[in-house]
Amino acid sequence: MQRSDPAAIRQRFETGRRCFGFEIDGRIVSFGWVTPGPERTGELERTLAVPPGEAYVWDCGTVPDHRRSGFYSALLNKILIELQDEGVPRVWIGASRLNAPSVRGIAKAGFRHVIDLTYRRFGRLTWITTREAPDAPGESVRLARRILLKPGELVIGPLAFGWLA
């Protein structure tokens, strides 16, 4: 957050995004952004089609000297509780499986593992492979796949192929 462009942060707030955080002695130690509805994700080169009324949690962080102290999962739990109190029926979040601390924090906060995905791009050709998590409810898997797909992508079972413009 300290290195973020103030104009970009202002623009996030002006477009309906919210920031949640914890601070100690006036210093932010953990933060996360929440978008109601669709949100662009650069890692997947697409806009996640989060339905109106639902929310997506993204761009979270904890400063290095406060990591492994439970702030991340506490922050996510705080977000879930507040959004639930506001009547938001479903909250989405994603993390790389290679980021084990994030994956653990997400689970500890109460999020349910729904799908694993692999995203690849070769030139303009893109594809996503999804695999449902063990014990994931079928409806949640269907909704997660719907959020991930871009209009015009060819879907064959768990694969979706598309072209970048």
Query: With respect to CATH, is domain 1-111 assigned 3.40.630.30?
Result: yes
Can you give the residue ranges of every domain in the chain?
1-111, 114-165
Reading the block at residue 86, the tokens are 């506001």
143: nearest Cα among 76, 72, 89? 89
The per-residue pLDDT for range 60-81, each reduced to its tens digit, is 999 999 998 999 999 999 999 9
Dist CA 156 CA 136 (whole Å): 20
* Cβ atoms 78, 60 nearer than 8 A: no
Q: What is the pLDDT of residue 112?
A: 94
The structure tokens listed for 161 are 């192929």
The amino acid at 120:
R
Q: What pLDDT is attached to residue 124?
A: 95
Give pLDDT tens digits for 94-147. 999 899 999 999 999 999 999 999 999 999 999 999 999 999 999 999 999 999
Contacts 24+ apart (CB under 8 A), 103-107: 104/73, 105/72, 105/73, 105/76, 106/73, 106/76
As given in the structure block, the two tokens for residue 90 are 């479903």
Encode pLDDT of 19-73 as tens digits: 999 999 999 999 999 999 999 999 999 999 999 999 999 999 999 999 989 999 9
Query: Is the torsion defined by CA of 137, 142, 144, 145 positive or negative?
Result: positive
Task: Report the C-alpha gap between 121 and 29 in whole angstroms.
Answer: 35
Using CB atoms within 10 Å of the CB of residue 70, give its burial: 0 to 12 exposed, 13 to 18 middle, 19+ buried: middle
pLDDT band at 5 (very low <50, low <70, confident <90, very high): confident
Q: According to the model, what pLDDT value does residue 3 have?
A: 60
